[in-house]
Amino acid sequence: MTSPSIQWYPGHIAKAERQLKEQLKRVDVVLEVLDARIPLASHHPQVAEWIGDKPRIQVFNRVDMIPDKTRQEWLEWYRARGDKPYFTNAKQGKGIQELKRAAQAAGETMNQRRRDRGMRSRPVRAVVIGFPNVGKSALINRLVGRKAVVSARRPGVTRQLQWVKISKEIELLDAPGVIPGKLEKQEDAIKLAICDDIGEAAYDNQRVAAALVDLLVKLHFSSVLESRYHLDTLSLTGEAYIHSLGMKLFQEDKERAACQLLNDFRKGVLGAIPLEFPPKDR
Ligand SMILES: Nc1nc2c(ncn2[C@@H]2O[C@H](COP(=O)(O)OP(=O)(O)OP(=O)(O)O)[C@@H](O)[C@H]2O)c(=O)[nH]1
Ligand SMILES: [Mg+2]
């Protein structure tokens, strides 16, 4: 039996996408927030089409959740393609000033064009877009320097578009997380589920936890499981591992085992573990 595919496109996201497209006409610069653990799977394929030739700043948030070596590899990969990503930890406020300067610089170019046409300068309007739960609102709060918008540990917190004025120079638009109407690549959908970047109604915890175990083994991170749960992955499949973990630590409860494992990964208890690396073929 093949498992049902992971799909998640609730009504509030469809609505947010429509409103976002409308607002995009009014913004000068787009901050695209990616989950540093899965920057490829958390990139919305339609972003380029939506923003046209507006300046885009790519932000790798949750940089604390990947090793510095991987951060460096991504930086080189992007640089080779002529891009310059910014790395942030919106939880602790790292990398924020550099990002603010980049947004301001993009705005300055826009204002110069306005002045050339005899118009007055105005604050730069920047929108923060990205998948659910990647830290868009947390990033805005850091850029503003106060709790201006709600940020919490679950996908789908921001429901409405909301403008926030951070200074005379910049205004920011917080947007709900937007994901493609159809998740074409199921391996990406599973990574999004593992990282808590889509709603939990879309998937089965045990299946996703099993996929996480398989992925950790594939990426040579299985030792983190052994040291945390004192249970060797040996040649077990992810599914068998979750079963054994339930038997061993959770009174035979596989669901609790799966939730614990996912939670440990999401909270960083297992360590700084990237689930994607720069592709070698591009
Ligand atoms: N470890 C870590 N946690 C972060 C970081 N940025 C945000 N978070 C946490 O991630 C969770 C989600 O943050 P939000 O700001 O609500 O994310 P969002 O993208 O606005 O989510 P939606 O509004 O649901 O789309 C919160 O618990 C934040 O504290 C980061 O850089 N590192
Ligand atoms: Mg939000």
CA–CA distance, 60 with 35 (Å, rounded to integer): 6
User: Could you give the percent of the chain with pLDDT greater than 90?
Assistant: 89
132 CB less than 6 Å from ligand 1? yes
Q: Would the CB of 94 count as within 6 Å of ligand 1?
A: no
Ligand nearest to the CA of 16: 1
| Per-residue pLDDT at 68 | 98
**Alpha-carbon span 174 to 136, nearest angstrom:** 7
At 134, which amino acid appears? Answer: V
Per the listing, tokens 């830290």 go with 135
Cα–Cα distance, 257 to 66 (Å, whole number): 24
Cα-to-centroid distance, 42 and ligand 1 (Å): 14
pLDDT reported for residue 133: 97
Which residue numbers in the chain have pLDDT < 70?
1-2, 281-282
Give residue 89's pLDDT.
98
pLDDT at 1: 45
Q: What is the dihedral of CA 98, 99, 105, 106, to 10 degrees?
A: 160
Query: Is residue 89 lining ligand 1, measured as CB closer than 6 Å?
Result: yes
Q: What is the pLDDT of residue 2?
A: 58
AA letter at 111: N
Q: Does ligand 1 lie within 6 Å of residue 269's CB atom?
A: no
Q: Is 31 in the pocket of ligand 1 (CB under 6 A)?
A: no
CATH class of 11-174: alpha beta
Assess whether the C-beta atom of 153 lies below 6 angstroms from ligand 1. yes
Domain residue ranges in the chain: 11-174, 204-267
Res 107: pLDDT: 87
Instruction: Please identify, by atom number, the ligand 1 atom nearest to the C-alpha of residue 177.
Output: 25
pLDDT at 167: 85
Rounded distance between C-alpha atoms, residue 43 and residue 49, angstroms: 13
Residue 100 C-alpha to ligand 2 middle, in angstroms?
A: 18
For every residue of 240-275, which 3-state class applies, written as one string? HHHHHHHHHHCCCCHHHHHHHHHHHHHHCCCCCCCC
Count CA atoms closer than 13 A to 125's CA, side-chain side: 12
Ligand nearest to the CA of 139: 1
Pocket flag, ligand 1, residue 141 (CB < 6 Å): no
Between the CA of 153 and the centroid of ligand 1 the distance, in Å, is 6
Could you write out the DSSP letters of every residue in 177-245?
Answer: ----SS---HHHHHHHHHTT-S-GGGS-HHHHHHHHHHHHHHTT-HHHHHHHHS---TT--HHHHHHHH
Residue to mutate, 34, 91, 161, 179, ligand 1, most ligand atoms under 8 Å from C-beta: 91
Q: In what order do the strands lie in the sheet with 170-174?
A: 86-87, 56-61, 29-35, 124-130, 170-174, 162-165
Q: Please report the sign of the dihedral spanned by the C-alpha atoms of residue 106, residue 111, residue 114, residue 116.
A: negative
Choice from 59, 157, 173, 273 to test ligand 1 binding pocket (greatest atom count within 8 A of CB): 157
